[in-house]
């Protein structure tokens, strides 16, 4: 993860990330052999979570699945933004949907870096905080404290899809998040995935974004 004191600019991070990806596309290698600062960070995360090492190998199939996951995130992000306008105060539904969007977006980033879909399914599952940690270890560059806090609240995001009225004492804590604070954080994360992966936005998405921001 890049500290706030030594953080590269967004353009430098994206340029460096894409240069690394171009190199991997030409000569796929194992994660331990990549000449980048991510190797040590990945090893530390493997030990922290007791995960099997992830071999980073970029393939056309992985890139295609990555784009599919990113497009999924964008489409459901549009729904999340629309639902916020209808139900601006109800956090539980927003958190469940935000969890799905961020999981899809972060897995798109990891797939683009060379993590396999099977590894993600086995080790990431619905743990948003873990997915964000792995992405940042590979140069994703999202060091927003509020996003890190939201990721912890979301994890695992399946819990927000259940009804808790029968056991109030076990109700998950929202961390004070409401749709008005959830939506911009998730939108920024999805935009970041678009930037670092270079995936095109789904058809019609760019127009909707321009209309929403005008």
Residue 63 lies in a domain: yes
- Residues spanned by the domain of 28: 10-213
Q: Which residues of 158-188 are buried (b: 16+ CB within 10 A; e: fewer)?
A: ebbeeeeeeeeeeeeeeeebebeebbebbbe
Residue 4 lies in a domain: no
**SS3 sequence of 14-51:** HHHHHHHHHHHHHCCCCHHHCCCCHHHHHHHHHHHHCC
pLDDT by residue for the chain (214 residues), tens digit each? 333 333 345 555 555 555 555 554 444 434 333 334 467 889 999 999 999 999 899 999 999 999 999 999 999 999 999 888 766 667 888 899 999 999 999 999 999 999 999 999 999 999 999 999 999 999 999 999 999 999 999 999 998 886 544 444 456 788 999 889 999 999 999 999 999 999 999 987 765 555 555 5
Residue 101 lies in a domain: yes
Residue 113 lies in a domain: yes
Distances, alpha carbon 116 to alpha carbons 26, 61, 112, in Å = 18, 10, 9
Phi, psi (deg, nearest 5) at residue 213: -95, -5
Residue 5 lies in a domain: no
Number of separate domains in the chain = 1
Q: How far is the C-alpha of 109 from the C-alpha of 115, rounded, in Å?
A: 9
**Of 74, 91, 41, 20, residue with least CA distance to 189:** 74
> pTM above the 0.85 mark?
no
Across the chain, mean pLDDT equals: 81
Residue 205 lies in a domain: yes
In contact, 14 and 196? CB cutoff 8 Å: yes
Q: What tens digit of pLDDT does each residue of 163-203 get?
A: 544 444 456 788 999 889 999 999 999 999 999 999 999 98
The per-residue pLDDT for 92 is 82
């Amino acid at each position: 993860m890049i500290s706030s004191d030594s953080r590269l600019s967004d353009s430098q991070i994206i340029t460096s990330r894409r240069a690394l990806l171009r190199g991997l596309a030409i000569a796929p290698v194992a994660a331990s052999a990549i000449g980048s600062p991510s190797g040590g960070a990945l090893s530390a995360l493997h030990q922290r979570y007791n995960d099997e090492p992830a071999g980073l190998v970029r393939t056309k199939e992985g890139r295609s699945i990555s784009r599919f996951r990113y497009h999924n995130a964008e489409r459901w992000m549009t729904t999340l933004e629309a639902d916020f306008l209808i139900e601006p105060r109800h956090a539980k539904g927003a958190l469940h949907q935000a969890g799905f969007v961020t999981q899809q977006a972060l897995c798109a980033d990891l797939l683009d870096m060379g993590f396999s879909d099977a590894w993600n399914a086995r080790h990431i599952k619905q743990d948003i905080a873990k997915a964000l940690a792995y992405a940042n270890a590979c140069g994703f560059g999202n060091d927003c404290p509020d996003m890190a806090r939201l990721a912890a609240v979301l994890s695992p995001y399946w819990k927000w899809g259940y009804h808790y009225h029968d056991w109030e004492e076990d109700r998950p804590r929202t961390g004070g998040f409401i749709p008005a604070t959830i939506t911009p954080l998730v939108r920024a994360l999805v935009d970041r995935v678009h930037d670092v992966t270079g995936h095109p936005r789904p058809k019609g998405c760019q127009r909707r974004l321009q209309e929403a921001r005008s």
